Amino acid sequence: MNIFVLLKQVPDTESKIRISPDRNNIEKNDFKWIISPYDEFALEEALRTKEALKAGTVTVLTVGPDRAVEALRTALAMGADNAMHVKTESDNLDTFLVSRALAEVLKKENPDFILTGKQAVDDDQAAVFGYVAEFLNVPSVSGAIKYEVAPDRKSVKAYKEVEGGAKHVIEMPFPCLVAFTKGLNTPRYASLPGIMKAKKKEIKGATLADLGLASIEPTVKDSDYQLPPERQAGKKIPGDGATQARELVRLLREEAKVI
Amino acid sequence: MIDFTLSDEQMALKEMVRKFVEKEIVPVAKHHDETKEFPHEVIKKAWELGIMNVAVPQKFGGLGLGVFDDVLISEELGAGCLGMTTSICVNTLAIYPILLYGTDKQIEQFVTPLLKEPKLASFCLTEPGAGSDAAGLSTQAREDGDHFIVNGSKMWITNAGHASLFTVFCTVNKELKQKGIICLAIPADAPGISLGKAEDKLGQRASDTRAIQFENVRVPKSHLIGKMGEGFKVALRTLDRTRTPIAAGAVGAARAALGHSIRYSKERKQFNQPIANFQAIQFMLADMSTKVEAARLLCYQAGWCLDNGKEVEGAYFSAHAKRFAADMAMEVAIEAVQIFGGYGYTKEYPVEKIMRDVKLVQIYEGTSQVQRMVIARHILKD
């Protein structure tokens, strides 16, 4: 089975956000970069599927600037077999163009099964999985927590959790795409032997021009970033219990307007 | 020509161990410090990640990493818990004698099993009456046909209570001093071996430390590592390789103490401002930082020498690295407690544990005084 996992390299969620002077981007120089956690759940599931079936290959694919190679190396060290990188100059492509690039590569590679995260944790757009499935004309489901490959390896059952703890099970024939939410698995660490082996694995590169996409301009442009207002200091109500309670109710009613 | 950049793999290795430490070691370090409970789970996970026994050559199924990579691993582990670092790293100390002086057959017999299962091994050199004067050891190995009969006792043996293999230094004739010493690989379940109780230590309480008694333990001569009388050299060459990662563990612990101090001094307010605004604190932090950086460079230099066939320089720089890193980590940890003030003196905050843990680095694997002897001998040599 030819499994593809679509990854995005994103800033560590603990990174401190600073806006660039022209306000249309974020200062990225000091960031620590990681694989987007939802994509990491997808990768872990893909690796487990391969191990359970004792067959198939797992290829990780990303679109991004040079530094995105680190995310691919990490994925290789975790156990992915192959890696492909669509190299871009800018790291501010819109989701449409990124999805076009991913789809162009996938068309050539003919995967049976495509896994990814339901969204990247940097811009939270949750758009790429849908575009990619559409461009490839394959069925897709988003927000899955697990899946089961059919014994004949021709279809997959994806499980979603819906409101109230109910389960929603969706069956799709291969080829298809499953986009993961925080799943049941704990992604493995890249092991030391894995890191050593990853060194010898080749990362196949391509550019947007190679994919015939050089002339497409991003249609979405970031125009203004704003940080949330600084949080106000808390308020301490003095006095004895009865006074405090009265004042608290007054503030909740008149200032916070919640009761 | 000089290049301080790490390779991509080394960066990935550091990152992986750092993540492991954050998720698996830091959350349980306090528990193991308080209870003295042996961290079996953490060791098993470290083994699964492949960060134990890293020096085993590839032809025996290992990774064949050098001292430098071991230094990177140790620093990251040391930043989490020095006691666990000691327990995780001691396999390397125990198996280096076999890797350096053993035959292929001996490596397969004694070392390969450690790669197949998360088993532990202990290095048994120190005795109740032979610490810094290691050559004065008196555990006796008497020849008896195709066996040695071992009698005596060893002291402060890390992981002894959980090990499956001991590399034991004995003397065939005490009058021969160094030249009478041999190294034997002895399975921990050999009849005649008994263990002392786990020591109740000031720090590094997650590591297991015990005395071992050998009473008429029969060891086949095929377990002799290296030649007759070569044992002392086996021990020294082993220690030349493991001293630097031990130093790096102290660098990690000091780095952690510094990190805690930086965060705390930005949060803690006195006189209506964060104490990090005060030059008194700033200078303490700056000095701590210089010490950490300098010690790390000595570790890197020693590791690089040993990996590049420079044995004499490697031994020399590793003595510097161990001495300096151990002493500086102690100083940095004490300063960290000072910056935390009263809070630092309580177990609610992490710096007092570091202070207790790093003290041992000035003592084990060659005290800071022994390292100074090595350095002095080197620089006074004609």
Residues of A in contact with B51 (CB under 8 A): 192
Can you give the pLDDT at residue A121? 92
Nearest to B187 by CA among B151, B207, B214: B214
Is residue B153 domain-shared with residue B174, that is, in the same domain?
yes
Is residue B192 domain-shared with residue B114, that is, in the same domain?
no
| Tokens 């590399």, located at residue | B167
Of B9, B15, B19, the CB nearest to A196: B9
CA distance A49 to chain B (A): 20
Is residue B207 domain-shared with residue B293, that is, in the same domain?
no
Is residue B217 domain-shared with residue B324, that is, in the same domain?
no
Of B16, B54, B63, the CB nearest to A190: B16
Is residue B367 domain-shared with residue B242, that is, in the same domain?
yes
Give the model confidence (pLDDT) of B305-364 as tens digits. Answer: 999 999 999 999 999 999 999 999 999 999 999 999 999 999 999 999 999 999 999 999
CA atoms lying within 13 Å on the CB side of residue A16: 2
Task: Output b/e per residue, A45-73; b: 16+ Cβ within 10 A.
Answer: bbbebbeeeeebebbbbbbbbeebbbbbb
In a domain, B93, yes or no: yes
Indicate if the alpha-carbon torsion angle A238, A240, A243, A246 is positive or negative. positive
Give the model confidence (pLDDT) of A237-247 as tens digits. Answer: 989 999 999 99
Give the model confidence (pLDDT) of A42-68 as tens digits. Answer: 999 999 999 999 999 999 999 999 999
Give the pLDDT band (50/70/90) at residue A200.
Answer: confident
- Closest CA in chain A for residue B58: A193
In a domain, B2, yes or no: no
Q: Where are the domains of chain A?
A: 2-207, 234-259
CATH label of the domain that carries residue B42: 1.10.540.10
Indicate if the alpha-carbon torsion angle B193, B197, B199, B204 is positive or negative. positive
Can you give the pLDDT at residue B8? 87
Is residue B376 domain-shared with residue B236, that is, in the same domain?
yes
Rounded Cα gap, residues A97 and A208, in angstroms: 9
pLDDT at position A215 over 90: no
Instruction: Say what the alpha-carbon torsion angle B172, B174, B180, B181 is, to the nearest 10 degrees.
Output: 80
Rg (Cα) of chain A, in Å, rounded?
Answer: 22
Strands B181-187 and B224-225: antiparallel
Would the CB atoms of B50 and A189 count as touching at under 8 Å? no
Can you give the pLDDT at residue B255? 98
Is residue B241 domain-shared with residue B372, that is, in the same domain?
yes
For chain B, how long is the longest CA-to-CA vector?
A: 79
Give the type of residue at B373. M
Can you give the pLDDT at residue A229? 86
Residues of A in contact with B15 (CB under 8 A): 74
Catalytic residue among B24, B127, B352, B365: B365
pLDDT at position A26 over 90: no
Give the pLDDT band (50/70/90) at residue A185.
Answer: confident
Is residue B184 domain-shared with residue B261, that is, in the same domain?
no
Rounded Cα gap, residues B324 and B375, in angstroms: 11
CA distance A190 to chain B (A): 6
In a domain, B150, yes or no: yes
- The tokens describing B184, both together, are 């034997």
Is residue B266 domain-shared with residue B335, that is, in the same domain?
yes
Rounded Cα gap, residues B208 and B305, in angstroms: 31
Q: Taking residues A5-11, what's their average pLDDT?
A: 96
CA distance B334 to chain A (A): 29
ipTM: 0.79
Q: Taking residues A223-230, what's their average pLDDT?
A: 86
Can you give the pLDDT at residue A178? 96
Helix, strand counts (H, E) of chain B = 12, 10
Nearest to B75 by CA among B65, B85, B83: B85
Is residue B145 domain-shared with residue B193, that is, in the same domain?
yes
Please give the mean pLDDT across all residues of chain A. 92
Can you give the pLDDT at residue B139? 97
Is residue B74 domain-shared with residue B112, that is, in the same domain?
yes
Q: Give every strand in the sheet of A203-207, ordered side by side.
A: A166-173, A155-162, A140-149, A176-180, A113-117, A2-6, A57-64, A82-87, A203-207
Total domains, chain B: 3
Can you give the pLDDT at residue B317? 97
Told to judge if B365 belongs to the known catalytic residues of this protein, a careful annotator would answer: yes
Contact A143, A157 (CB under 8 A): no
Single out the residue in B74, B96, B119 at which a domain terminates: B119
Q: Which residues of chain B, if any, have pLDDT below 50? A: none
Q: Taking residues A181-209, what's their average pLDDT?
A: 90
Can you give the pLDDT at residue A199? 85
In a domain, B265, yes or no: yes
Rounded Cα gap, residues A80 and A7, in angstroms: 12
Angle at B67 between CA B66 and CA B72, to 5 degrees: 105
In a domain, B1, yes or no: no
Of B8, B15, B63, the CB nearest to A193: B63
Q: Which CATH superfamily is domain A2-207 in?
A: HUPs (3.40.50.620)
Q: Taking residues A156-171, what's their average pLDDT?
A: 91
Can you give the pLDDT at residue A216? 85
Mutation choice for A interface testing from B49, B52, B70, B266 by most A CBs within 10 A: B49
- Closest CA in chain B for residue A69: B8
In a domain, B36, yes or no: yes
Is residue B153 domain-shared with residue B105, that is, in the same domain?
no
Single out the residue in B179, B209, B227 at which a domain terminates: B227
Of A189, A191, A199, the CB nearest to B9: A199
Give the pLDDT band (50/70/90) at residue A164.
Answer: confident
Would the CB atoms of B63 and A189 count as touching at under 8 Å? no
Q: B208: domain range?
A: 122-227
Helix or strand run (H / E) with residue A63: strand A57-64
Rounded Cα gap, residues B144 and B148, in angstroms: 6
In chain A, alpha helices (H): 37-53, 69-78, 95-109, 128-136, 192-200, 241-254
- Closest CA in chain B for residue A34: B15
Give the model confidence (pLDDT) of B181-191 as tens digits. Answer: 999 999 999 99
CATH label of the domain that carries residue B221: 2.40.110.10
Can you give the pLDDT at residue B268? 97
Mutation choice for A interface testing from B16, B25, B91, B263 by most A CBs within 10 A: B16
- The tokens describing A33, both together, are 């970069």
Residues of A in contact with B54 (CB under 8 A): 192
Whole-angstrom CA distances from A185 to A47, A139, B233, B249 are 11, 24, 49, 32
